[in-house]
Amino acid sequence: MPHAEQADGAGGFGPDQLVDEIAGAIRLGPSHMLGLFENLTKRYSVDRLKGDMVERVNLLLFMRPSSPILLPGQEPSTDAEEMREAEQTVRRLADLSPKITSEIRDVREDSAMAADFGVQELPVLLIAGRAKNRVRFVGTPRGNLFEGMLKAIWRASTGDDELPAEFVKDLGRVASDVYLRVFVSPTCPACKPVIDAALRMALTSSKVRADIIDATAFLDLADRFDVYGVPTTILNDRFSLGPVPEEMLLEAVIHASDPSYPAPQIPYVAYPSCGKL
């Protein structure tokens, strides 16, 4: 499970090591430079979890464990592997800091609790603490989703959403609850800023909930909402946005909460090639 391994084995990195890694990536070409910076970003986020946590954050995972017993010639199902990887990811994250706790729930045994949280797709990871379960990851967090999750955990613990004061003031204009289903892929770079924006809004405003959904793992759900490319954000299961800047997403959130607020003028933006489903 490469993503959990990156988290588990990450440590601090000094200037000399950084210079060596950059020099090596330059020799190997642009694609290696991109990979290096993505790796450094994740390692930086992991280091912050290890040293800068303030309040306790609980990771609540709902899943459906599979039987460890396989019949002769039977292969583990994709669904079973997804559940197992999600559980391993959550447990390893909890090992990073004493201020990260994990709670694994079997929906068959805790169906009432799952219903209370509105759990439908599995696996789903809820971030408690200051986030109060308004931040969820549907599917095993990989790539972009894993990086977003690391940042969300840190922000939920520290209370630092890294948002400009003016943005936070405008977010206060959200008049009623807004539910964001953010369909993304683990690998498309265009998804990163949308993931970040949605998570920060949900962490800052008690009226915003954000589900970050791996569209590549939940194609049926994507089809249900006519999602043909990522990133796509569905607001209150009615409005749909493609890849838009953070400020425009905020305007759409305010409009979804209060129809009297002018709807944003959304320009047509083609999905990047990496974002086509």
Count the residues in the chain: 277
Residue 241 lies inside a defined structural domain of this protein: yes
Q: Where are the alpha helices (DSSP H) in the chain?
A: 2-9, 15-28, 30-51, 78-94, 111-116, 144-158, 165-171, 191-204, 219-224, 246-257
Mean pLDDT of the chain: 83
Q: What is the pTM of this model?
A: 0.82
pLDDT digits (tens, 9 = 90+) for 242-277: 999 999 999 999 999 999 999 888 877 788 888 888
Best CA proximity match to 3, nearest among 99, 184, 98, 142: 142
Best CA proximity match to 146, nearest among 192, 97, 100, 91: 192
Residue 85 lies inside a defined structural domain of this protein: yes
What is the pLDDT, as a whole number, of residue 46? 75
Residue 19 lies inside a defined structural domain of this protein: no
Split into its structural domains, the chain has a count of 1
Q: Is the pLDDT of residue 72 over 80?
A: no
Residue with the bigger pLDDT between 39 and 51: it is 51
3-state class (DSSP) for residue 76? coil
**Structural domain containing residue 114:** 56-66+78-275
Q: Which residues contact 51 (CB under 8 A, 6 or more apart)?
A: none
Residue 44 lies inside a defined structural domain of this protein: no
**179: CATH:** 3.40.30.80
* Under 8 Å between Cβ of 61 and 87: yes
What is the pLDDT, as a whole number, of residue 192? 93
Residue 6 lies inside a defined structural domain of this protein: no
Residue 132 lies inside a defined structural domain of this protein: yes
How sure is the predictor about 36, in pLDDT bands with cuts at 50, 70 and 90?
A: very low
